[in-house]
Structures are given as structure tokens and as C-alpha cells.
Chains A and B, each alone.
Chain A
């Protein structure tokens, strides 16, 4: 799977999440959007929703069984949740190992 496709999926999932937020909490989504930590507009429950939606989408629609919260993800020096772009890099790595 190409990185462009993964980026499209991740942005679409995050945008879907943003649509469910109250008007005053909505924000613009692009590849630099921070998902977790300082500068993020996403609370922990919303992040859980994004992770579940990504894992489900890759598994059900593309037959890629990926886990975004296993030890490998958590122990990385650079958290996969840092930004959409970093997340895309991490997923790209995972799906191309399969």
C-alpha cells in the first residue's frame, strides 16, 4: 500500500472524528495535525476512537491486521501519535511488513 493512500485514510478517519466534536472544538485537519501530547486538540477518548477506527478500517477494508498500541508502538523513541505524518510513516512500515 502506498503512503499517499495511508495518508488519505488517516486524514479521513481524523476528519470523521472532528465532525462529531462540538462546534467550538472543531479544528482543521492536515498531515501536520498533532494527535497526542503538547499542541494536540484531541482528548484521550477521541484518540482511542481514532485508533479503533484506523485498526478497523485497515483490517476490515484492506485485510491488514495492525496494532497501533502494542509494545512496539509504545516503546518507539518517536511516538507514532506525534502527528498524522508520523502515524502514516508507522502504518506504512507495518503494512509493508505483511
Chain B
């Protein structure tokens, strides 16, 4: 399904992005990974660019390199995100800025720079990894949830702007999934997440197969008429 497709994935060095990268590699794609650190992925079809996605200039510059080296991008997975779960009144400003820059502004910049390339081939699939936070609006997630809601809206507007070029923009809003980010939470936060999971219509954590299933749907060549859609896992809406 993905043979020779060029797939750009942000936040590819760990968690969801790492697993999505390996999934595309297993399916014979060429994967361009963007993340702050180095990558442990050892595959000839994997090309890593170490950048700080909270810095707009770094995103613009890496796309100049990508344009020169690869000439095209078929699929973008906007996965990278940072999360500080904290009451808004005591959220450090630096963390707040990082959340906005990585979780919203970087999604905007990566999508538009990729769209400039996709436009040339009259083909593209932009898939954002959203979150149940946008719908559940939990205490402590004010900015994270707002950015994820912003990503939903961003994709819907871009879907209209890019439809002419056969570029679709969709969002997969995931529930909690086993990742480093999840494991970093405090014991109290873990209890809160457990309660959230138990309150879902389908009361379990997401597994990677759930994620790959929706990505396959959005990324499929057959999905050219599917755009500006948000799919929540686990029964959330």
C-alpha cells in the first residue's frame, strides 16, 4: 500500500511517532523523521532530521533541505506534541509557549511547507494526531486541549484550501496509549487518566493497531474524497 511513498513524520524518535515510523517502514515507505533528538531507527529507508519543532526557523530550514533531497512528500503525519498537565494558574510560561509552538504552530508550519511540495504532484495526505483532550477538556489540560482543538480546526480549514491540489487533511484523535509521555505522568495524573479511560464508551487504552487502522484509512489512495474529518478513538465525539 505504501511502497515508495515518501512519508514525513514528526516526533519520530519515540512513542506514537516511533511506532508509526516503523509501521510505514515495514510497509516499504521512505520515511523522513523529524524530532529533537537522534533516532534509534536503523533502516536504509529512514532519514532523520534532528530539529526543535518549537522553533519556526528550524522547520522552514529543514524543509529547504527536504525539498532539495526528496523533491516530494506524499504523506505527512503531524504527531509531535508536548504536554504539561498543570492547573492554568501555575503553568510556567515557558511550558505554555512550548505547548503552543509544538502542538499548534509546528503543525501549521509543517502542513503548509509540505503542502507546497504536495501541490506540485497534485497529491497529498496530511494526517494530524489529535487527542481526546480536545473533546474531554480535562482540568490541567487547558492549553494542550485548546491546541488539539486548534489542530482539528486547522486541518478543516487547510482541507478547503488544499482540496484543489488533491491534498486531504484529516485528524485522528487518539485516547491514552502506552508511551514514554504517558509513563512520565505523576502517580496522581496516572489515576486521573485511569478514570478517564474507565469513563470511555469503550473503556480501554488505545493500542497501536487502532492507530494504524485509521491512518491506513486516511492515507489510502481510495480516500481522496475524505477530508476535513476528525475520527476519535474509543467512542469519544
Q: Identify the A interface with B (CB < 8 A).
A: 45, 49, 52, 56, 59-60, 65
B161 to chain A, nearest CB (A): 9
A52 contacts B67, CB within 8 Å? Answer: no
Task: Specify which of A49, A59, A60, A65 is in contact with B119 (CB 8 Å cutoff).
Answer: A49
Which residue of chain B has its CB nearest to the CB of A45? B164
Answer whether residue B200 sits at the interface, using C-beta atoms and an 8 A cutoff. Answer: no
Interface membership of B190, Cβ < 8 A: no
Q: Mark B109-132, 1 if CB is under 8 A from A, else 0.
A: 000000010010000000000000
Interface of A is mostly: helix
| Extra contacts besides A45-B164, A49-B119, A56-B67 (8): CB < 8 Å | A52-B116, A52-B119, A56-B116, A59-B64, A60-B64, A60-B67, A60-B68, A65-B60
Among residues of B, the one whose C-beta sits closest to the C-beta of A52 is B116
- Contact residues in A for B64 (Cβ distance below 8 Å): 59-60
CA distance A27 to B194 in the complex (A): 63
CB closest chain-A residue, reference B122: A20
**What distance in Å separates the Cβ of B219 from its nearest Cβ neighbour in chain A?**
24
